[in-house]
């Protein structure tokens, strides 16, 4: 069973997944406003190599 843990990593260690099928750049400003108002409520999920698995829009908005 996999165990998830939350850790803080420098932003330069995080890389977008090049084949991300979701192109939702129109949501970036809304997500950025939400982050400014409420902070990060859900972390960006990355693999062992620092490649984003879930959270590309949050990454762009940060």
* Annotated domain spans of the chain: 11-61
The Cα 61–Cα 4 span in angstroms is 23
Residue that the structure tokens 């190599």 belong to: 49
Average per-residue pLDDT for the chain: 91
Per-residue model confidence (pLDDT) at position 10: 92
Model-level pTM? 0.80
The Cα 56–Cα 12 span in angstroms is 14
The 10s digit of each residue's pLDDT in 8-59 is 999 899 999 999 888 888 999 999 999 999 998 888 999 999 999 999 999 9
């Amino acid at each position: 069973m996999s165990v998830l843990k939350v850790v803080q990593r420098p932003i330069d260690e995080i890389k977008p997944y090049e084949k991300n099928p979701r192109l939702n750049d129109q949501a970036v400003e809304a997500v950025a406003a939400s982050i400014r108002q409420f902070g990060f409520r859900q972390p960006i999920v990355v693999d062992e190599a620092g490649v984003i698995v879930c959270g590309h829009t949050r990454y762009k908005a940060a």
